[in-house]
Amino acid sequence: MIAELKPYAEYKESGLPWLGQVPRHWETRRLRHAADMRVSNVDKHTKPAETPVRLCNYVEVYKNERIRESTRFMPATASEDERVRFGLCKGDVLITKDSEQWNDIGMPALVEFEAPDLVCGYHLAILRSRPGLYGPFLHRVLESHFIAAQFHVEANGVTRYGLSHGAIQGVAIPLPPSSEQAAIVRFLDWANGRLERAIRAKRKVIALLNEQKQAIIHRAVTRGLDPSVPLKPSGIPWLGDIPQHWEAWRISRCARVGDGSTPSRGTPAYWNNGTYPWLNSSQVNRGFIDSADQFVTPTALRECHLPRVPAGSVLVAITGQGKTRGTAALLGFEATINQHVAFVAPRTNVVSPEFLHLALVAAYQTLRALSEDSGSTKGALTCEDLKRFKVGLPPLLEQTVLVRHIRVETQTLNSAISRLEREIDLLREYRTRLVADVVTGKLDVREAAARLPDEAAPDTTDDDADPSLDPEAADDAAIP
């Protein structure tokens, strides 16, 4: 059905260089003339004598393109005036007004349910459609990269980026007739559902391949390669029996452990023209870290007591609710880290960096369970936990052989995973292009939408989310 889509019969100039021509019967309108906007200042701090509410904050928008009843919200309190001014209604569109991350600016989310106690949180703008503009259509328009580009051009700031009221209200949007807006949303919801199902299926295959990798790694770093070698009890539940010539060592005996911090974003001297790589916990999902996207200054290194973490260290994410916590990655260059990450710098005369990394990869589930035993409602590991944690250590030469074996045995699996991840990227790119072409009138979907069966909108919730999008990684990227 998508391949059969054709352009409209007649077009006219929109007067906007980025938009070009639009269907003859469409309009273009500034957002200030199509929607009412309010910018919330409700924060998460609870105040006595105020009404309990659920707060929809920018983290929820960062993680979800749709705000649903099942979305997890932060409890807070609000005055009656705040509840009236910033209470959310079904069909409202929220956009990120300011953030440390430039790419987050203008990110939209659609409110899909009515809730009298749901209030918009700080850093967000509420857009409520006026007659003639359908809220779900506005959400799709703001998703398009054409609109995102306008927001990114207007975003100002050095260590924190923001949009002025005028920049938001002045953005131009294409505006078809109301009935056509509904048809466009119907078609895009259907197409998005198909694409998300395809992505979800590929992610499930990736999960199975990762399980195979984990089994190969776990076997090698706990038992070695020779099935006939005599074993002995390690006394460590996750290790079980280990080869008799191996030793079980606390990490503190074979490595130096520490964590980092986040220099104040309000101090430009810590960030402006920074040259020293600074990493947050989202980076550990890469497995091997060979580049950075944030940099601090020598002043920050000196005044904020940031550690200089040597190349060859293993980084472990130590906080958060998502899949990231407990994940380990090998660092390929000298860098520093924030407080959500611990470094494990090995004594290379005892343990190779590659072997230590694989040992901690194999221990992922144990590290997760250890973090849950801390009693924290959020879940966390500490540097002391890592120092006390034990791994099995064979002689250095055997470590080298084991690392080489794991590399060979997982090569095919890694290639398959990379191929599937690339296919997912292509599906996402296709979806981005499809949304842009449809909401700007380059493709006519009216007949296609009319032929769709009457059924509930597909649930595009992704239960097997990419680890790089887990809640902690999102929190960490937004507020280091």
Q: Are 28 and 22 in contact (CB under 8 A)?
A: yes
Q: Is 413 left (phi over 0), alpha (psi -120 to 50) or beta?
A: alpha
Confidence check: pLDDT of 346 > 60: yes
Residue 243 lies in a domain: yes
| 159 and 263, same domain (yes or no) | no
Q: What is the CATH number of the domain that holds 130?
A: 3.90.220.20
Tell me whether residue 468 is in a domain. no
Structure tokens at 314: 């293993």
> Are 144 and 265 in a shared domain?
no
Contact 76, 119 (CB under 8 A): yes
**Residue 123: pLDDT band with limits 50, 70, 90:** confident
Q: Is residue 412 part of a domain?
A: no
User: Domain residues for 328?
Assistant: 202-403
Confidence label for 78 from pLDDT (cuts 50, 70 and 90): confident
Number of structural domains (the chain) is 2
Q: How many percent of the chain have pLDDT more than 70?
A: 88
Distance CA 149, CA 353 (A): 42
- For 52, other C-beta atoms within 10 Å of its C-beta total 10
- Whether the Cβ atoms of residue 252 and residue 388 lie closer than 8 Å to each other: yes
Q: From CA 401, how far away is CA 135, in angstroms rounded? A: 60
Give one DSSP letter per residue of 332-350, joined into a string.
-S-BEE-TTEEEEEE-TTT
- Mean pLDDT (whole number) for 161-178: 89
- Domain end marker among 373, 403, 433: 403
CB atoms under 10 Å from CB of 468, counted, come to 16
Confidence check: pLDDT of 12 > 60: yes
pTM (2 d.p.) = 0.80
- pLDDT-derived band of residue 453, with 50, 70 and 90 as boundaries? confident
- The answer to whether residue 129 scores a pLDDT higher than 80 is yes
Q: Are 138 and 93 in contact (CB under 8 A)?
A: yes
Nearest to 95 by CA among 86, 105, 84, 83: 105
Give a yes or no: residue 369 inside a domain.
Answer: yes
pLDDT digits (tens, 9 = 90+) for 150-166: 787 777 765 567 888 88
Q: Does the residue 210 lie in any domain?
A: yes
> Among 120, 125, 142, which Cα is nearest to 133's?
142
Give yes or no: residues 232 and 370 share one domain: yes
Residues 6+ apart with CB under 8 A from 287: 329, 330
Is 250 a domain residue?
yes
Choose the final residue of a domain: 382, 403, 424: 403
